[in-house]
Amino acid sequence: MRSKQILLISMIMQSFVLGQLEFPSSELPKDTVATIGSQIISARDFLERFELMPWPKKDMKERIEYTKLEFLQSMVAEKLLAMEARQENIGTDSGTLSMQRNLEHMFVRDEFYKREVLPKISVPSQEISIGLKRIPYEIEVQIMGILSKKEGELLRKKIVQSKNKNIVFNYFIDSLYVPLDTLTVGYGFGNTLVEDVVFSIGKDSISNPIEIDPLGWVMFRLMQKKSNEQLMRLSHPDRLRKVENIIKQRKEDSIATTVFASVTSPQRAEANPELFLMLADSITAMMKADSAAYFSKGMYVFPSTAVTELQKKFASRRNDHFITIASGNLSVGEVLVGLGNNNVGFPSLKLEQIRSVLNNNIKTVIQNELLSREGLKRNLQQTENVRHDISTWLDNRKSLLMLRAIIDTVQISNEEIENEYQQHPEQYGA
């Protein structure tokens, strides 16, 4: 084992010289930046990791090339450690196998999304024209609650026919409508229907009635229309780009909703109520025990590290049947892994709020699982993209396990400890 460790460290130091000798240059892919045995690190691999991962002095432009070299060396070291791990049969533990399943489902779902949603996105010129007209402006409106569409149409008729609209608004307040709140709407507003209705308000200063969740039937009264100075300063190409991006995102969301519904709607899922309540109670107890640690930016965030603690608490029930689905049930362990992939946040620590948010997050876990199963049914796990991404993350996991195994072989005698202490007592609180 020790000779292999020395060889491994030597290979890490020499990888950029020796790696290039593994293939004739004519056989190397054009974007290869390093070779390690029969494996390569492509420019795509490097850029994806370098852009996403933190790294010391990464923001120092004067040494960026050296920083990139350091980062590439770390990726080569990771590959070498992962190769050694496979030789030593490290990375076959239950934790790694569970991680592999989770990665496969996640990347299969991602590939399914890329194939079924992204190619269907289009940006019609008519919608671009509408967006360019709206984007420089913001409209402030009063939200008016009404009992029904019929009463809203009656109110609008009286407003349109009146010469003094303010008198009519004041006369019918609390009878035909109730003022609820004010709202500022610009292009790209979260609710497309609300945006369309608000921007359609004309000289009559009032919109048609619409029904929206959770307010029910409402109308909008024009308060003021003003220019958005920041957007007004944008050049035409920048405005155009912003409009196109908003349209693309809206189309993507709409298509994704339709595609996901086509997969998930035919299937019914039901949770074990006893396990659900136990899970909600455990989350509540954990967060109340140290609420300040979970509070961030106005809400209580339940991070993946907390999900790991939850997995330990439910270790004895890990394989218990939690979610019933016709195409295959989900265990407690599988649901907890799925929750670890979500960004779980609670508005308060009230038990009913935690149950509500947890219920919605479990619905997301179920939806993700059903989408993954659809992708697996289409054999997307065999595609190059999925296999590449799984391999990258497993190499990372195995390299860390290998490094830990190497560190565990290091033995230090009492004499070495004493000598170190005598030489540098100030470092150890003496």
How far apart are alpha carbons 317 and 177 in whole angstroms?
54
Does the residue 189 lie in any domain? yes
Same domain, yes or no: 223 and 154? yes
Does the residue 295 lie in any domain? yes
How far apart are alpha carbons 328 and 35 in whole angstroms?
42
Beta bridge partner(s), residue 140: 184, 224
Residue 121 DSSP symbol: -
Same domain, yes or no: 156 and 70? no
What is the pLDDT at residue 21? 35
What is the pLDDT at residue 38? 84
Does the residue 21 lie in any domain? yes
Q: What are phi and psi of 43, to 5 degrees?
A: -60, -35
Does the residue 420 lie in any domain? no
Closest to 264 in 3D by CA, of 169, 347, 371: 371
Q: Residue 307 is encoded by which pair of tokens?
A: 């999900």
**CATH (domain of 160):** 3.10.50.40
* Domains identified in the chain, total number: 3
Same domain, yes or no: 222 and 278? no
Q: Residue 40 is encoded by which pair of tokens?
A: 């390569």
Count, residues in the chain: 430
What is the pLDDT at residue 430? 59
Does the residue 297 lie in any domain? yes
What is the pLDDT at residue 18? 37
Does the residue 237 lie in any domain? no
Amino acid at 157: K
Does the residue 402 lie in any domain? no
Does the residue 289 lie in any domain? yes
pLDDT mean for each 10 residues of the chain (430 residues) = 44 41 46 87 90 90 92 94 94 91 96 97 96 96 95 94 90 93 95 96 92 93 93 92 97 96 93 96 95 93 93 94 94 94 93 95 96 97 95 94 92 88 80
Closest to 242 in 3D by CA, of 230, 253, 254: 230
Q: Is 392 helix (H, G, I), strand (E, B) or coil?
A: helix
Residue 16: CB atoms within 10 A of its CB come to 15
Same domain, yes or no: 223 and 274? no
What is the pLDDT at residue 196? 97
Q: Give the residue from 59, 92, 125 where a domain finishes.
A: 92
Same domain, yes or no: 283 and 192? no
Query: Could you tell me the end-to-end alpha-carbon distance of the chain, in angstroms, rounded to an integer?
Result: 37
Same domain, yes or no: 273 and 362? yes
Q: Give the residue from 177, 198, 227 where a domain finishes.
A: 227
Q: Give the residue from 36, 63, 92 where a domain finishes.
A: 92
What contacts 48, CB < 8 A, 6 or more positions away?
A: none
Preceding amide of 237 cis, omega within 30: no
Same domain, yes or no: 154 and 66? no
Residue 53 DSSP symbol: S
Contact, 203 vs 191, CB < 8 A?
Answer: no
Element (H, E) at 396: helix 384-408
Q: In 176-322, which ranges are continuous DSSP H helix?
A: 192-199, 229-232, 236-264, 273-289, 291-294, 304-313
Which residues form the domain of 181? 137-227
How far apart are alpha carbons 159 and 150 in whole angstroms?
14
Amino acid at 86: R
